[in-house]
């Protein structure tokens, strides 16, 4: 059976499952809504000049990538889903610092609903603050055609409402669609800039005698990067587990062997998304400093996207969030308790506290490998592609987000296919 025939067979399997088919259609419709919103501009801004500035500024280009081009058009979705990500980061950090929040998180569905509701409220506050910052910057650089209080009020309300609507779209995709809604919206925004970035690259290098070798190098780097991401995203460390007591068929005195699959990269693409958003903050703060501020030029150079200081800090933040997010999604003590209650044990390891300590050591070791890999993949393409003056889209961050989110979504589709006795994609 050829690859195309296998793919067609999987598509037929998807079509035959009504629930999965409806989820995919719903997700695609939400994608359409999210993209249409990026083309509805807020009034009173010189969009042509802003587009030119965005193309010439690394930071603005980076922000524009995460908004799917909405920022350079100052559309109703100009802030994108970034305020919601910021709010999620804040509550994730507070849960570690404040024991009460951690207790609420462990209350189950009701606790998670409380945190989600508070995250929504904080998203609105952050969106208002960011909207004020955007309006102030637009007016300071002379891009506002009708400056004044009316412009501030209408634009801030518009941008905040756009973010809240995107937050709702993301939540609806997670509940009624397929995949993680917030990650998929970022995925959509990143890939939407792909065709434009390719055309821009071809135009910039037109007539260059090294065009073909450069494109071959870019293609090779992209293939190697994608292959590495796939290997690490799907890679597992299997911890053997032996269950004593009743075996198959209910025969007493028998045991069965199984394993705990520990992913090499349990955090997925979230560390890269979180780190990208966090690293925007110092760059934005530097840009907000007055021109007469001593050292502004030096700071601006340090926090430009391709300066060694920025890249090192970016890598460290990715590593930090890799450990942080892994600690959220994997609880060694809970796994050890479940094993003990189910009559399972890791060979040569005592059940209970010793098992939890062992799992924590293993997870820490493999997380180091996954975190360092993510950091390298995120910054190395940026260094290579910057040498050839290629667009931000081709950087490692964009590739990691696109491939990682695509893999996660395909795995969720696989789960639906397997439940309905179809063989999955992977």
Amino acid 391: pLDDT: 56
* Whether 240 and 124 share a structural domain: no
Kindly state the average pLDDT of the residues 359-363: 91
Partner residues linked to 41 by β-bridges: 75
The answer to whether residues 358 and 214 belong to one domain is: yes
pLDDT tens by residue, 185-198 = 989 988 887 777 77
Q: What is the pLDDT of residue 3?
A: 63
Under 8 Å between Cβ of 117 and 202: no
Mean pLDDT, rounded, for 202-226: 73
Q: What are the backbone dihedrals phi and psi of residue 45, each rounded to the nearest 5 degrees, phi first?
A: -130, 140
Are residues 126 and 274 part of one domain?
no
- The span from the CA of 378 to the CA of 394, in Å, is 11
Whole-number pLDDT of residue 370: 87
Same domain for 168 and 301, yes or no, is no
The answer on 168 and 281 residing in a single domain is no
Are residues 240 and 355 part of one domain? Answer: yes
CB 122 within 8 A of CB 82: no
Is the same domain home to 133 and 215?
no
- Whether 417 is covered by a domain: the verdict is no
Residues 161-208: pLDDT tens digits?
999 999 999 999 999 998 889 889 989 988 887 777 777 767 766 666
Nearest-angstrom CA–CA distance, 374 and 392: 17
- Both 182 and 49 in a single domain? yes
Residue 424 placed within a domain: no
409 or 245, which is more confident? 409
405 domain residue, yes or no:
no
Rounded-to-integer distance, Cα 265 and Cα 276, Å: 18
Question: What is the pLDDT at residue 120?
Answer: 93
- Report whether 181 contacts 171 (CB < 8 A): yes
Based on the fold, state whether residues 185 and 60 are members of the same structural domain: yes
Q: For the chain, what is the mean pLDDT?
A: 82
Q: Does 182 fall in a domain?
A: yes
Which tops the pLDDT comparison, 262 or 245? Answer: 262
Report d(CA 358, CA 148) in Å as an integer: 62
Residue 412 lies in a domain: no
Burial class of 242 by CB neighbour count within 10 A (0 to 12, 13 to 18, 19+): middle
Domain residue limits at 306: 209-245+255-394
pLDDT band at residue 117 under the 50/70/90 scheme: very high
For residue 242, what are the β-bridge partners?
Answer: 257, 345
Q: φ and ψ at 239, to 5 degrees?
A: -95, 115
Count how many domains the chain has: 2
HEC states along the chain? CCHHHHHHHHHHHHHHCHHHHHHHHHHHHHHHHHHHHCCCECCCECHHHHHHHHHHCHHHHHHHHHCCCHHHHCECCCCCCHHHHHHHHHHHHHHHHCHHHHHHHCCCHHHHHHHHHHHHHHHHHHHHHHHHHHHHHHHHCCCECCCCHHHHHHHHHHHHHHHHHHHHHHHHHHHHCCCCHHHHHHHHHHHHCHHHHHHHHHHHCCCCCCHHHHHHHHHHHHHHHHHHHHHHHHCEEEEEEEECCCCHHHCCCCCEEEEEEEECCCCCCHHHHHHHHHHHHHHHHHHHCCCCCCCHHHHHHHCCCCCHHHHHHHHHHHHHHHHHHHHHHCCHHHHHHHHHHCCEECCCCCCCHHHHHHHHHHHHHHHHHHHHHHHHHHHHHHHHHHHCCCCHHHCHHHHHHHHHHHHHHHHHHHHHHHHCCCCCCC
Q: Are residues 291 and 189 in the same domain?
A: no
User: In the chain, what percentage of residues exceed pLDDT 90?
Assistant: 20
Whether residue 316 sits in one domain with residue 186 = no
Question: Residue 108 sits in a domain of what CATH number?
Answer: 1.10.3370.10
For 3-24, what is each residue's pLDDT tens digit?
A: 677 667 777 777 788 888 899 9
Q: Is residue 303 part of a domain?
A: yes
In a domain, 361, yes or no: yes
- State whether 123 and 213 are in the same domain: no
The band of 250, judged by pLDDT with boundaries at 50, 70 and 90, is very low
pLDDT at 395: 61
End position of a domain, from candidates 193, 218, 234: 193
Report d(CA 262, CA 344) in Å as an integer.
16
Residue 374 falls within a domain, yes or no?
yes
């Amino acid at each position: 059976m050829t690859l195309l025939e296998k793919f067609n067979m999987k598509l037929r399997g998807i079509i035959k499952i009504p629930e999965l088919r409806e989820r995919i259609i719903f997700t695609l419709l939400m994608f359409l809504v999210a993209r249409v919103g990026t083309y509805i501009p807020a009034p009173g801004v010189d969009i042509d000049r802003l587009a030119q500035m965005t193309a010439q500024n690394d930071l603005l280009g980076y922000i524009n990538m995460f908004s799917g081009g909405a920022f350079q058009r100052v559309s109703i979705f100009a802030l994108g889903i970034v305020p919601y990500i910021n709010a999620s980061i804040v509550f994730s950090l507070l849960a570690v610092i404040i024991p009460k929040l951690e207790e609420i998180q462990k209350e189950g569905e009701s606790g998670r609903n409380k945190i989600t509701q508070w995250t929504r409220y904080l998203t609105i506050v952050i969106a208002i603050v960011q909207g004020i910052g955007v309006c102030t910057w637009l007016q300071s650089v002379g891009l506002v055609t009708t400056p004044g209080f009316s412009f501030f009020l209408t634009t801030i309300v518009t941008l905040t409402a756009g973010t809240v609507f995107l937050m709702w779209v993301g939540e609806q995709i997670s509940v009624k669609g397929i995949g993680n809604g917030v990650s998929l919206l970022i995925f959509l925004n990143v890939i939407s800039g792909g065709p434009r970035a390719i055309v821009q690259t071809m135009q910039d290098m037109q007539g260059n005698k090294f065009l073909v070798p450069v494109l071959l190098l870019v293609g090779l780097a992209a293939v190697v990067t994608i292959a590495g991401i796939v290997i690490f995203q799907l890679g597992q460390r299997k911890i053997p587990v032996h269950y004593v007591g009743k075996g198959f068929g209910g025969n007493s005195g028998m045991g069965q062997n199984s394993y705990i699959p520990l992913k090499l990269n349990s955090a997925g693409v979230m560390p890269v998304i979180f780190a990208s958003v966090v690293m925007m903050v110092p760059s934005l703060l530097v840009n907000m400093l007055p021109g007469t501020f001593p050292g502004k030029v030096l700071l601006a150079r340090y926090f430009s996207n391709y300066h060694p200081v920025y890249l090192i800090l970016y890598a460290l933040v990715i590593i930090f969030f890799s450990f942080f997010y892994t600690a959220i999604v994997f609880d060694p003590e809970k796994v050890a308790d479940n094993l003990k209650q189910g009559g399972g044990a890791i060979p040569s390891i005592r059940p209970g506290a010793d098992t939890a300590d062992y799992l924590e050591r293993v997870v820490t070791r493999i997380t180091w490998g996954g975190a360092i890999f993510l950091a390298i993949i995120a910054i190395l393409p940026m260094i290579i592609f910057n040498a050839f003056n290629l667009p931000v889209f081709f950087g490692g961050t964009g590739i990691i987000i696109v491939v990682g989110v695509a893999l996660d979504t395909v795995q969720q589709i696989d789960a639906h296919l397997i439940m309905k006795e179809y063989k999955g994609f992977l």
